[in-house]
Amino acid sequence: MKKLLTYSSLAVAAFLYTISLHAQSVKYNTENKTNALAPFKISISILNFEQILTPITAGIMVEGHLKDKLFYNVQFRQGYIRNFMISKDNLITTQKESKGTVFEAGVDWVFRDRIKPGKVKIVTSSSSSSYGTSEKYFRADCDVRNYWALSGGVFEYIRAKYINSDSSEYITSGTTDIKAPKDKFTHLNQNTIGLYVGLVHRKIKKATVAVSDEGRTYRIFYSTKFYLQMLSGVTNVGDILYNGQSYKVDNAKQIPLGYRIGWQWDQQGVVTGFEFGKMPGVILDTPVAKSDFDKISTFLNYMRFTFHFNIYNGDINYSMKLKK
């Protein structure tokens, strides 16, 4: 019991040390830059998890701020690993699988823009030990820009659709029904081209904070973005190969409408994103009653995690002076 208490005390002490943050009282001057956003910046991503495509994609994003009320973005991502959750040996259709491609281009037009006073945390020093990390910081006054925008654009998604043996869906070609036996899969490739419209809400903190005692200036940029968008698209389905023969997919029924809800957090040029929704595509129209899984996919058929890293002309650099 004594050893247990000793280990517990050490664990608690280590935890408290790790999260200990020592606030300081310092003299500083803040220069707000929330309206000085980069007109052109490039980010890359090397690790995205996209359920609608494959587990892993990589790509590039170009975005910027045009005038006061207009923002734009263009992004491209390509799958570089096939869906490793499904073995090729378990596929009974043999046409080449799409690893997945995403292309989007759109604009945000700001219709409501407000700036309010807020705070930003400035970390002046940190130290580490075997027990954890301790920081010294102060909270500086900083403007917080809030805006609402209308968003719209175009997209193209190319991805594979897998149908397992437990699904109520199966492929019909003429009078031939192609069903996967137990623990096997059929698949088809689908290419969706469409439009999206919706709302965007964003908070921005961008400033330089000059600390008099240190003679040092800190560059600060944080941004959070929430969006809700409706999607509309048309999907083309490729032929399949089964037992060495080519078959058209005759029972692919268009699902032209979808939606997505997403959130992004930009911390000093590192952007983390989470998104979920229903992508326009196709379902295989069969007389079999829908399974519970198929019923769920009627409303939700993907979740996505993305990670971007700014490499050129990011907001942390644009219109920001840094002095040491």
Sort residue 68 into left (φ over 0), alpha (ψ -120 to 50) or beta.
alpha
**Cα separation of 147 and 109, whole Å?**
10
Q: pTM for the full model?
A: 0.85
Tokens of 108: 């945000």
Average confidence score pLDDT of the chain: 87
The residue type of 229 is: Q
**Cα separation of 16 and 29, whole Å?**
32
Looking at residues 210-229, what average pLDDT do you find? 91
In sequence order, the 6+-apart residues with CB closer than 8 A to the CB of 157 are 52, 53, 100, 101, 102, 103, 191, 192, 233, 279
Looking at residues 251-272, what average pLDDT do you find? 94
Q: Is 255 exposed, middle or buried (0-12, 13-18, 19+ CB in 10 A)?
A: middle
Residue 310 near residue 270, CB atoms below 8 Å:
yes
Give me the pLDDT at residue 323, please: 54
Write phi, then psi, for 26 (nearest 5 degrees): -135, 160
Q: Tell me the pairing of strands 132-164 and 21-23.
A: parallel
Give me the pLDDT at residue 99, please: 85
**What confidence category does residue 20 fall into, taking pLDDT thresholds of 50, 70 and 90?**
low
Give me the pLDDT at residue 122, please: 85
pLDDT at 196 over 80: yes
Residue 201 near residue 227, CB atoms below 8 Å:
yes
The tens digit of pLDDT for each residue in 94-139 reads 999 988 899 999 999 999 999 999 998 888 877 776 666 777 888 9
Looking at residues 10-31, what average pLDDT do you find? 64
pLDDT at 286 over 60: yes
pLDDT at 182 over 60: yes
The tens digit of pLDDT for each residue in 226-257 reads 999 999 999 999 999 999 999 999 999 999 99
pLDDT at 212 over 90: no
Q: Is 268 exposed, middle or buried (0-12, 13-18, 19+ CB in 10 A)?
A: middle
**What confidence category does residue 214 fall into, taking pLDDT thresholds of 50, 70 and 90?**
confident
